[in-house]
A = this chain, B = another copy of it.
């Protein structure tokens, strides 16, 4: 996979800056771990180059960088969004390993299941009755796909995932290890004999191009479907309760919990360890900052934080005020004494 910088730039769709040389690139590594021959990556956060301080010491032969980065003393390939170049370079130099198609001899596939001949079924995987596994789908070792579930084309289900009965996973998805799609929703009603279970008879429908992290739980709907929209990405240990509807292209970061029947609009970001109460609607393009809890409907474009969540700027002001609270109490006491004394003096 050896390529000159200029050729590599063309392959990746970036602009070469070879004024300082056109080295042969043979691999990719971080600035601190690169050896000669490697291309590396100059990350940025907003307009700030995050790791530019590492550039001086790097042994990399070139970097992928923003077209705006100035005075790089190293050959580079430039992109308006350098993360796109980085993603393409990783795919080029470190292509994903793909086992040969076919069913592993230790797997169990029910005779009524419809497994596409180009699909991969891993060791000890279980494909129950009436399951459909699409073209080039990959089911890794120890996965259980329960009866009548369906896995779309090109989707990868990683080791030890459970897809419960009747659930539907779209195309080009990745579900990471240990996740559970279609567990029962938490539905009970109180009776004189204790909590009576309300059967959870619906399913989960995952759209296309969805990625779901490790040990996530997505409960099936009581009736109908819990849904995750196309292009949404969910991090590890997230919980979606029954009848939740998550829109398209959302980002839901680790350890977030979304309560029952809540609706999350398109392009919403829920940061780490956030939550929502049940039966609320979060509008499109909302951002819930880390640890925020949504307690009421949010209009499109809201940026909120805290519990109960408030406009992010208000929450930040409150957080800043909080640090002055002990001082505030002291000042109030002093003022009370002063007013009291002044009143006594009259």
Contact = CB atoms under 8 A, between A and B. Distances in A.
Interface in A75-99: 81, 83-84, 86-87, 90-91, 94, 96-97
Interface in A109-127: 122-124, 126
A307 B237 CA distance: 21
A94 B166 CA distance: 13
B254 A29 contact: no
B273 A254 contact: no
Contacts of A97: 147, 165
Given A239-B254, A339-B342, A180 B214 contact: yes
B255 A272 contact: no
A217 B214 contact: yes
B239 A237 contact: yes
Copies in the complex: 3
A186 B256 CA distance: 14
Interface stretch (A15-23, A170-178, A296-304): A170-178
Interface residues of A, number: 111
Secondary structure class of chain A's binding surface, majority of residues: loop
Interface string A326-346: 101101100110110011000
Contacts of A141: 126, 128, 144, 146
A196 to B, nearest CB: 5
A323 B335 contact: no
A197 B86 CA distance: 10
A259 interface: yes
A319 interface: yes
Contact of A217 (B142, B236, B239): B236
B326 A198 contact: no
A7 interface: no
Interface stretch (A65-73, A187-195, A280-288): A187-195
Contacts of A257: 237, 254-255, 272-273
A325 interface: yes
Contacts of A336: 331, 335
Given A189-B81, A249-B194, A339-B338, A215 B33 contact: no
B83 A189 contact: yes
13 contacts: A30-B223, A81-B189, A123-B128, A186-B235, A186-B253, A195-B251, A213-B219, A219-B236, A239-B255, A254-B257, A290-B307, A331-B336, A339-B342
Top 7 closest A-B pairs, CB basis?
A83-B189, A183-B214, A162-B177, A180-B214, A217-B236, A214-B217, A194-B231
